Amino acid sequence: MSAVKQPVVAYDLASPLFFSDPEATTFARMRARDPIYFDPGLSAWILTTYEDVSRALKSPDLSVDRNGEIGRSSSHGVAPQLRSVNSIVSQWMIFSDPPRHTRLRSVVAKAFQPQTLRSLLPIIDQTVDDLLDHAEREGAFDVLTDLGVPVSERVTAHLLGLPRESPKQLKSWTENIFGFVGAGNASDDVVYANAAGINAFRTFVAEVIDARRQAPGDDLVTQLLRDAGSDYTEEELVGLVITLIVGAFETTSYSITNGLYALLRHPHQLQLLRAQPELIESAVEETLRFDGPALSVQRRAKCDVTIRDTSIRERDRIYCMLHAANHDPAQFSRPSQLDIARNPKQLGLGLGPHFCLGAWLTRLETQRAILKTVQRFPNLRLAEGSQPQWTANFAIRGLRQLVLSTSLSGWFKRPDN
Ligand code: HEM
């Protein structure tokens, strides 16, 4: 029987194994052997070193607009839906280059100042305390659904002055958008879900804007409308508010979940944080480095460029693997160890002109949620049989579930180190 020659797959970025531990399964090898690698499946270049990723994020030769193809699909059946969703999302700030990016970011950044956000601290603390009261009564809780999601939902709703009954819908619209922008190749279901959801999302936000025009409040949407005056179109304002909601909802919940998981897997570091709570700011920077919720961001070459010795052609796609850069041993000593005192210069919130606008807020929420949880529950541990399952998405990386016990009762096992 003659052997059939199979093409060698150097790195399998489509496998669930990759998403379960991208660094160990793939990035460590790729960074060492092929720091600039063309992945045929994604039809894109992959950057994995800290230096290349940092440079790419700051380079004016690389664009965020993905040629207007924010979501991609190989299925012709969904082409009209794909076009329609892409034509909307490609106008958003996060997928825009200057001058549109500068114009959009400047008006929202004005409203998004630390002094505005600082007033959220009592709400964050109260929300976390209420949720932890509930967890204590139950004896166990899922960090994602019982802490991370409600904290980010309630804080965002308060910040933007959203109606109380809205968060459930917002979460599914947001999930759909991440599914769309973060899929290497979006499935038909994902494209259909977005085509159906995105207009409902725009209508919802347009109504919120209208309500704030009728009855201004002390929320960020009111402030945005005041700052924008008549210089911005309705579609631009709707896009800005949607970007804030999408930016805020999923990411922070995973930042809390992934962060607590990292600490539980490093019991000495967890103890250190309990003993020295003043390390919390550095600890959250470290959890964002170690396993932050942004796996990668994408760029496109605006012109022919050379990275190291590799020629990249105009319009080529590039994935800047933030997770890989954050584990680069050339930048961080013992990168596979969590070290909450190292206060790393990590790239989990991006860098350059598109650096995360919500960085200050998400740090605050994550710090308060993690610190209060570990201080409140000295016996915090992973629930027996709790199998970590990671999202399979190039934009967002998070644990789908993290069930923890708050007490010493017998059905929980010690976490692995
Ligand atoms: C831990 C949680 C978060 C992570 C890991 C994260 C990550 C990122 C990253 C990597 C970027 C850069 C995108 C690029 O360069 O293409 C970004 C941009 C952005 N983020 Fe965040 N983010 C988080 C939380 C938030 C929150 C809470 C908000 C809003 C309240 C937010 C709003 C935004 C916005 C509006 C942008 C676009 C900025 C621009 O295009 O100029 N993010 N974020």
Residue with the larger pLDDT of the pair 151 and 86: 151
Are 218 and 232 spatial neighbours (Cβ–Cβ below 8 Å)?
Answer: no
Please give all residues whose beta carbon lies within 6 A of any atom in ligand 1, as ranges.
57, 64, 93-94, 105, 243-244, 247-248, 251-252, 255, 292-294, 297, 348-350, 354, 356-358, 361-362
Cα-based torsion angle of the residue sequence 68, 73, 78, 79 in order, rounded to the nearest 10 degrees = 40
Nearest to 359 by CA among 350, 368, 372: 350
Inform me whether the pLDDT recorded for 90 exceeds 50. Answer: yes
Are 67 and 300 spatial neighbours (Cβ–Cβ below 8 Å)?
Answer: yes
The edge-to-edge listing of strands for the beta sheet with 403-405 is 140-142, 403-405, 381-382
Inform me whether the pLDDT recorded for 202 exceeds 50. Answer: yes
Task: Provide the pLDDT confidence category of residue 394 given band limits of 50, 70 and 90.
Answer: very high
Owner of token pair 């009209």: 80
What is the best residue among 95, 101, 124, 251 to mutate for testing ligand 1's pocket, by most ligand atoms within 8 Å of CB?
A: 251
Inform me whether the pLDDT recorded for 66 exceeds 50. Answer: yes
pLDDT at residue 414, rounded to an integer: 43
Residue with the larger pLDDT of the pair 163 and 268: 268
Mean pLDDT calculated for residue range 58-65: 96
> Distance from the CA of 357 to the center of ligand 1, in angstroms?
6
Note if the bond before 99 is cis, omega within 30 degrees.
Answer: yes
Q: How many CA atoms lie within 13 A of 198 on its CB side?
A: 26
Inform me whether the pLDDT recorded for 4 exceeds 60. Answer: no
pLDDT at residue 411, rounded to an integer: 46
pLDDT at residue 409, rounded to an integer: 63
- The residues with which 36 forms a beta bridge, in sequence order, are 47
pTM for the model stands at 0.93
Nearest to 285 by CA among 210, 364, 221: 364
Inform me whether the pLDDT recorded for 31 exceeds 80. Answer: yes
pLDDT per residue as tens digits for the range 235-290: 999 999 999 999 998 899 999 999 999 999 999 999 999 999 999 999 999 999 99
pLDDT at residue 8, rounded to an integer: 58
pLDDT at residue 6, rounded to an integer: 53
* Averaged pLDDT of the chain: 91
Atom of ligand 1 nearest to the CA of 252: 2
Task: Provide the pLDDT confidence category of residue 2 given band limits of 50, 70 and 90.
Answer: very low
Task: Provide the pLDDT confidence category of residue 417 given band limits of 50, 70 and 90.
Answer: very low
Mean pLDDT calculated for residue range 155-164: 90
> Distance from the CA of 3 to the center of ligand 1, in angstroms?
49
* Domains in the chain: ranges and CATH: 16-405 (1.10.630.10)
pLDDT per residue as tens digits for the range 93-129: 999 999 999 999 999 998 788 887 888 999 999 999 9
Pairing state between β 403-405 and 381-382: antiparallel
Helix axes of 149-160 and 234-264: crossing angle, nearest 10 degrees: 150
Distances (CA, A) of 228 to 88, 107, 223, 234, 254: 20, 6, 8, 10, 32
- Report CA 163 to chain centroid distance, whole Å: 24
Inform me whether the pLDDT recorded for 413 exceeds 60. Answer: no
- The residues with which 321 forms a beta bridge, in sequence order, are 296
Are 266 and 342 spatial neighbours (Cβ–Cβ below 8 Å)?
Answer: no
Cα–Cα distance between 235 and 163 in angstroms, integer? Answer: 20
Task: Provide the pLDDT confidence category of residue 9 given band limits of 50, 70 and 90.
Answer: low
Task: Dig out the tokens for 102 from the structure.
Answer: 């500068």
